[in-house]
Amino acid sequence: MGSNENKEENLNKALHFIQKAVNEGAELIVLPELFNYLPSKMTKQGHLKNAEGIDGPSIKALEKVAKSNNVIIVAGSITELDGEKLYNTSFVISNKGILGKYRKVHLFKFGNIDETSVFEAGNKPEVIDLYGVKIGLTICFDLRFPEFFRTETLMGADLIFNVAAFLEKTGKIHWMPLLRARAIENQVFLVATNQAKIKGHGCKYYGHSCIIDPWGKILAKAKSDECVITCNIDLQKIEGVRKKMPLLDMRRIDVYDIMKSVKRP
């Protein structure tokens, strides 16, 4: 979906697409980054005005629809207010309520966009157990840090989600190569939901949400416009790929240990 500055409109659109996904048989539904408020120009004042806690209207609405339809929703991300601090936070919601949340660790800097002027950075990866299936959560710019995806893989993630507002300018070159690389090198399913390209928004987003298997095969992919994509995932494929090419067992952590102390020149 493509979001804008109208919070009520965005939430109604999200609920519409969730219902469409439910009608198509979806059991787990994923929204993009900042799905309920995405301004053309990022300001702390604007995000503060539209921030919510866990008891806010957006999360409550998603809790209601998750319960009534017996589905799990990875609620993209919202601007979370915690005390006086703002976080870019993704919530995982089931028919039993909030199962967990993740605060974006790597804050985006590109051109005149600087998320550190608005948000506090999270400080840990997050892997959540969905009734026996473990999912890793990441947000947009995290995609450029392979160590982060490897960490969540080693924490047991079978699927890793990247909810994003990836720009068209960088997305044309970087979006799909980065997503496929993260899936291939970690031998996990990767589900990526990106803000769609819509008319009237000051920023152009790339869209192309997709689902990728542990071998790097694209199982489903959207174009740049708004839509719902669905796909059946066979988690047994992870074991098959890892048995054929045991990458995780072949790691040389005695060599990689240098990463902890060496900074770039």
Spatial separation of the C-alpha atoms in residues 211 and 84, rounded to whole Å: 36
Res 263: pLDDT: 67
> Does residue 265 form part of some domain?
no
Q: How far is CA 70 from CA 27, 36, 203, in A?
A: 8, 22, 35
Res 112: pLDDT: 81
> Does residue 237 form part of some domain?
yes
Res 258: pLDDT: 75
Give the domain CATH number at 26.
3.60.110.10
Spatial separation of the C-alpha atoms in residues 248 and 174, rounded to whole Å: 25
Spatial separation of the C-alpha atoms in residues 3 and 219, rounded to whole Å: 25
Q: Does residue 203 carry a catalytic annotation?
A: no
Res 265: pLDDT: 61
Query: What range defines the domain where residue 121 resides?
Result: 7-260
Number of domains within the chain: 1
pTM metric for this prediction: 0.95
Low-confidence ranges of the chain (pLDDT < 50): none
> Does residue 1 form part of some domain?
no
Grouping H, G, I as helix, E, B as strand and the rest as coil, residue 155 is coil
Q: Describe the crossing of helices 146-154 and 168-186 by its angle, rounded to 10 degrees.
A: 40
Point out the catalytic residue in the list 80, 140, 152, 210: 140
Q: Does residue 33 carry a catalytic annotation?
A: yes
DSSP string, 48-86: HHT-B-TTSHHHHHHHHHHHHHT-EEE---EEEEETTEE
Point out the catalytic residue in the list 104, 120, 152, 210: 104
Spatial separation of the C-alpha atoms in residues 73 and 11, rounded to whole Å: 14
> Does residue 159 form part of some domain?
yes
Res 262: pLDDT: 65
C-alpha angle 91/55/131, rounded to 5°? 40
> Does residue 2 form part of some domain?
no
> Does residue 200 form part of some domain?
yes
Point out the catalytic residue in the list 7, 13, 33, 126: 33
Span 211-238, pLDDT tens digits: 999 999 999 999 999 999 999 999 999 9
Q: Does residue 169 carry a catalytic annotation?
A: no
Span 156-190, pLDDT tens digits: 999 999 999 999 999 999 999 999 999 999 999 99
